[in-house]
């Protein structure tokens, strides 16, 4: 029996999906691999960090065609301000590219793809192009309009005004995209409900597929004993870890809140506490925290797992968050107890709250940091691992997306076919 031929798909990403070292790239990397297995995949997008150009070759081995364009953030930031004059969302003009438009025109001339998929709302402006694809979908990931709305509440004028304006413009864009495209996806049912409720949104076209975690990679057994070793004089201390991109404002705000409201009191009660802040591009404000007693700031690391493996506790004190936090899933997959704010738990099932430590007020954080015993932490960590094994393997999450693709009659081949 002749095997069915693979169909052709185009995936457009706002940031090169490798290496998967931050939240959006983890999801886009999984999506890229999944589509490349099932379709003849053309991959296009932007590279916003010079060091990431070296990964294009890896993607070329995975995809049929790969095309990336440089995105110089400082230059584009000023260009995006033209959106103020045009009444557009600045994040849309930020990713507007003549070079990308020209390339897509070339692709259109060759005939439509069976499937075109965009990743993030900022790529929706390209996916809506007529003649590019027979089925056009957008993985919006998060509801960016709500993120900017939350930012506006946290900022002072004029930033508060600018962020409020961005939220309003993006609400209109998100609703419009749901009408223009064949389907729009978000990361959680709550995010999907938010977009469905926007004025003018086509609620029937809006759904979700969750994030997952690589259970083989983020596994206590995946880190060698040597990597877990600590110095003899460190065996008594309680090692706390916060991990995330440290130039991302929500992460910077989270660790600032923790260091201001929680750390002085917790450290005074337990001098053996040690905090390691792990993540790329720490801002000057974050780097300055390393001057405090018991605090280390690593900057970018090649592998976060040894830091998670050594940790006694993982903290996620986010004050603003959207979707599912990869940093929480990865810590849970490493069988580590997590103390998390309500915002960091948004998007997780209620059952997850029994597998970690929710903390709302600063007092809750101080008490947990001072009172949890090693046995309690180990028990919670084991429960956390079981939880993500049941609910957050990537295979299951991508299968949900695959069912949607089947419903649009753009069936891709399964890897084993």
393-403: average pLDDT: 92
Instruction: Assess whether pLDDT exceeds 50 at residue 1.
Output: no
| Residue-level pLDDT at 41 | 97
| Residue-level pLDDT at 84 | 83
| Residue-level pLDDT at 232 | 38
Q: How far apart are CA 231 and CA 243, in angstroms?
A: 21
CATH homologous superfamily of 220-391: Glycogen Phosphorylase B; (3.40.50.2000)
CA nearest neighbour of 317 among 281, 365, 269, 374: 365
Strand 113-119 vs strand 8-13: parallel, antiparallel, or unpaired?
A: parallel
The reply to whether CATH 3.10.20.600 applies to domain 8-212+394-407 is no
Residue 3 confidence class, pLDDT cut points 50, 70, 90: low
CB 338 within 8 A of CB 384: yes
| Residue-level pLDDT at 156 | 85
285-311: average pLDDT: 95
| Residue-level pLDDT at 226 | 52
226-233: average pLDDT: 43
| Residue-level pLDDT at 81 | 75
DSSP-assigned states of every residue in 130-186: TTSEEEEEEEEES-HHHHHHHHHHHS-TTHHHHHHHHHHHHHHHHHHHHHHSSEEEE
Give the list of residues 6+ apart from residue 360 with CB closer than 8 angstroms, or none. Answer: 341, 342
Residue 387, sorted as left (phi over 0), alpha (psi -120 to 50) or beta, turns out to be alpha
Indicate the DSSP class of residue 5: P
Instruction: Assess whether pLDDT exceeds 50 at residue 400.
Output: yes
Instruction: Assess whether pLDDT exceeds 70 at residue 401.
Output: yes
Looking at every residue in the chain, the average pLDDT score rounds to 91
- Percentage of the chain beyond pLDDT 90 is 77
Instruction: Assess whether pLDDT exceeds 60 at residue 231.
Output: no
SS3 226: helix
pLDDT single digits (tens) 71-102: 988 777 777 777 887 889 888 999 999 999 99
CB 180 within 8 A of CB 205: no
| Residue-level pLDDT at 54 | 97
Q: Where are the domains of the chain?
A: 8-212+394-407, 220-391
| Residue-level pLDDT at 235 | 45
Question: Given the structure tokens 């790529």, which residue do they identify?
Answer: 123
Q: What angle do CA 323, 326, 330 make, to 5 degrees?
A: 145
46-75: average pLDDT: 94
Instruction: Assess whether pLDDT exceeds 50 at residue 46.
Output: yes
Average the pLDDT over each of 61-70, 152-161, 284-293, 393-402 and give the range with the smallest value.
Answer: 152-161
Domains 8-212+394-407 and 220-391 share a fold: yes
| Residue-level pLDDT at 225 | 46
pLDDT single digits (tens) 149-186: 988 888 888 889 999 999 999 999 999 999 999 999 99
DSSP-assigned states of every residue in 37-85: HHSEEEEEEEE-SGGGGGGHHHHHHHSSEEEEEE--HHHHHHHHTHHHH
* Half-sphere exposure of residue 40: CA atoms within 13 angstroms, side-chain side: 9
Rounded to two decimals, the pTM is: 0.87
Q: Which position has the higher pLDDT, 227 or 307?
A: 307
> Which tokens sit at 62?
């995975």
> Which tokens sit at 158?
């004029």
Q: How far apart are CA 355 and CA 345, in angstroms?
A: 11
Q: Note the maximum CA span of the chain.
A: 72
Q: How far apart are CA 195 and CA 212, in angstroms?
A: 22
Can you give 363-391 as a three-state secondary structure string? HHHHHHHHHCCHHHHHHHHHHHHHHHHHH
CA nearest neighbour of 278 among 243, 310, 254: 243
Q: Which position has the higher pLDDT, 133 or 150?
A: 133
Q: How many helices (H) and strands (E) does the chain have?
A: 20, 13
Residue 234 confidence class, pLDDT cut points 50, 70, 90: very low
């Amino acid at each position: 029996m002749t095997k069915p031929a693979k169909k052709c798909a185009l995936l457009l990403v706002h940031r090169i999906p490798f290496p998967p070292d931050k939240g959006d790239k983890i999801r886009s990397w999984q999506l890229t691999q999944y589509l490349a297995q099932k379709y003849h995949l053309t991959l296009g997008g932007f590279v916003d960090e010079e060091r990431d150009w070296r990964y294009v070759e890896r993607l070329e081995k995975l995809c049929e065609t790969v095309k990336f364009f440089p995105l110089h953030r400082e230059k584009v930031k000023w260009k995006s301000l033209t959106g103020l004059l045009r009444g557009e969302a600045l994040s849309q003009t930020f990713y507007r590219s003549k070079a990308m438009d020209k390339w897509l025109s070339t692709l259109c001339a060759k005939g439509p793809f069976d499937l075109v998929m965009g990743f993030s709302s900022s790529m929706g402006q390209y996916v809506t192009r007529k003649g590019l694809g027979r089925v056009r979908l957008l993985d919006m990931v998060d509801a960016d309009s709500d993120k900017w709305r939350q930012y506006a509440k946290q900022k002072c004028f004029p930033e508060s005004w600018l962020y409020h304006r961005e939220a309003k413009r993006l609400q209109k864009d998100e609703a419009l995209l749901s009408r223009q495209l064949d389907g729009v996806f978000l990361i959680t049912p709550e995010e999907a409900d938010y977009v469905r409720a926007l004025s003018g949104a086509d609620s029937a076209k809006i759904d979700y597929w969750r994030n997952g975690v690589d259970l083989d990679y983020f596994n206590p057994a995946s880190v060698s004993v040597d990597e877990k070793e600590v110095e003899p004089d460190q065996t008594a201390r309680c090692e706390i870890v916060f991990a995330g991109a440290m130039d991302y404002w929500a992460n910077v705000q989270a660790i600032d809140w923790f260091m201001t409201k929680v750390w002085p009191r917790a450290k005074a009660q337990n001098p053996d506490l040690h905090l390691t802040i792990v993540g790329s591009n720490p801002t000057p404000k974050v780097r300055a925290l390393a001057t405090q007693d018991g605090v280390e700031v690593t900057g970018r690391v090649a592998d976060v797992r040894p830091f998670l493996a050594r940790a006694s506790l993982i903290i996620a004190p986010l004050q603003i968050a959207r979707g599912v936090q990869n940093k929480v899933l990865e810590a849970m997959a490493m069988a580590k107890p997590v103390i998390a704010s309500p915002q960091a738990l948004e998007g997780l099932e209620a059952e997850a709250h029994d597998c970690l430590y929710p903390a709302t007020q600063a007092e809750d954080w101080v008490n947990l940091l001072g009172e949890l015993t090693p046995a309690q932490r180990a028990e919670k960590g084991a429960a956390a691992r079981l939880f993500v094994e049941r609910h957050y393997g990537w295979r299951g999450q991508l299968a949900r997306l695959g069912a949607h693709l089947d419903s649009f009659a753009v069936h891709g081949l399964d890897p084993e076919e």
